[in-house]
Amino acid sequence: MTDVLRRGRASLAFCFFAQGAAFALLVTRIPAIQDRYGISDALLPVFLAAVPILAGAGSVTTEQLVKRVRPSRLLRWSQPVALLALLGVGAGGQGRLASVAVALAVFGVAVGMLDASMNMLGVSLQRAYGRSIMLSFHAAYSLGGIVGASLAWAGAHWQLALWVSYLPVVAVLLPATLVGSRWYVDGETAPAAQGSGGGRVVFRLLLPLCLVMTFAYIGDSTVSNWSAKYLKDVLGSSEQLATVPYNVYMVTALAGRALGDFGVRRFGAMAVVRLGALVAAGGFAVVASAPGAWVGMLGFTLLGLGLCVLVPQTFAAAGRLFPEASDAAVARLNIFNYVGFLVGSPLVGAVGDAWSYRGAMLLPMVLVLVTLVYARSFATRPDRYGGGHERPRTADVGRGSNGL
């Protein structure tokens, strides 16, 4: 049984890694995609907004499908579809808007199903382990993002065609994820916890976690979309230095996630989430008040360390809150990932244009601080992980997916 769990954990971690790499390869080459297909500046936001909207639809669909199909099966086939759609984005004919629109639509739906199902498996594996491991999966995602962004930089530096950049990555990741999917582990339904709503998701109870998820992604999208512009236009950095903050943010997020599970086991999820929110708010405060580029860089470093714990722990908390309906809770919560992504960048941009970009950085700071109000939703209650409170590994393990 232990070997089953270990193989399941390793294969799922690789799935997170592959997803992080694929997503980074897409978002970091948006200027090249725009040039290849002749997408106007006016039309580009429509294309960019369509992906998270369709991903939300994919997450909703996943909630319904897991009533009849195990999450491992959905994950096994949604990841190859997402990778092939990424290749389709790069391989479409010059100027053919219809082809890139179809490829991005397929990518969006597949990513929504992929994000939901892989976090479902992560939550159920954490339950089977009886201790916090959720952050380690998201650390693998961050590592994949760093690798994907680095490969995208190399493709842009050497002026490679999009399909030339994407094809080797897809050729490696697609068969590897298919092989790894043989060892995915589905969790069995856990006993109902008092006040959890039994086998259904009570949205009133899930709402605090939905808000935390939204606020976390507003913060994340602020960094990904505005850090370079902020450093260059507000703090007066060079164009080359302006590319550094997001890389620093990803590296520190990876470090925070790699170590975060130990903090959860020692101090509990609620304490880690509170500390993460305070560190992230401090990071936004440093960015907003920075006198120069290097102090601004320190702020983005703090942001990576703070924001990195919020999303994985929010998924884990949803699984604990609704133990008999954790798959449905995760799928519904995952929608607010895309809500935050959609809202964050335009909101910061609007405030920046109407007031100032320094002032705009205070908006996600306040929203992240609101997380402290909802920190009690992260309490691990009867089966707190770590600190002598681990549950015995009696297996709500289920079958490996190759038995499906």
Count Cβ neighbours within 10 Å for each residue of 193-210 and write b for 16 or more, e otherwise: beebbeeebeeebbebbb
Residue 197 has pLDDT above 80, yes or no: no
Q: What is the pLDDT of residue 388?
A: 38
Chain centre to alpha carbon of residue 143: 12
Answer yes or no: are the C-beta atoms of 292 and 232 closer than 8 Å: no
Residue for token pair 């997450």: 59
Q: In which band, very low, low, confident or very high, does the pLDDT at 149 lie, cut at 50, 70 and 90?
A: confident
Average pLDDT for 137-144: 96
Residue 9 has pLDDT above 90, yes or no: yes
Residue 45 has pLDDT above 90, yes or no: no
Residue 386 has pLDDT above 80, yes or no: no
Q: What is the pLDDT of residue 57?
A: 96
The architecture that CATH gives domain 1-183 is Up-down Bundle (1.20)
Chain centre to alpha carbon of residue 339: 12
The yes or no reply on domain 191-386 and CATH 1.20.1250.20 is yes
Residue for token pair 């580029």: 293
394 or 305, which is more confident? Answer: 305
How do the domains of the chain map onto residue ranges?
1-183, 191-386
Q: Dihedral sign, CA of 120, 125, 126, 127?
A: positive
With 0.85 as the threshold, say if the pTM is over it: yes
Tokens of 304: 């990576």
Answer yes or no: are the C-beta atoms of 177 and 15 closer than 8 Å: yes
pLDDT tens string 77-109: 999 999 999 999 999 878 789 999 999 999 999
Residue 372 has pLDDT above 70, yes or no: yes
Gap between the Cα atoms of 241 and 234, Å rounded? 13
Q: What is the pLDDT of residue 7?
A: 95
Residue 400 has pLDDT above 50, yes or no: no
Domains 1-183 and 191-386 share a fold: yes
Cα dist. 187→131, 190, 192, 254, 396 in Å? 14, 8, 14, 26, 6
* Percentage of the residues of the chain whose pLDDT score is greater than 90: 71
Phi and psi at residue 201, to the nearest 5°: -95, 120
Tell me the residue ranges of DSSP E strands in 132-185: none
How many residues in total does the chain contain? 404
pLDDT tens string 233-258: 899 988 778 878 888 899 999 999 99
Closest CA to 253 of 301, 217, 287, 213: 301
Count of other CB atoms within 10 angstroms of residue 192: 14
Cα dist. 385→145, 265, 392 in Å? 28, 5, 11
Tokens of 253: 């997020």
Among the ranges given (25-29, 121-125, 363-367), the one the predictor scored with the smallest mean pLDDT: 25-29
What is the overall mean pLDDT for the chain?
A: 89
Gap between the Cα atoms of 89 and 86, Å rounded? 5
Residue 301 has pLDDT above 80, yes or no: yes
Tokens of 115: 């994000």
Q: What is the pLDDT of residue 246?
A: 84
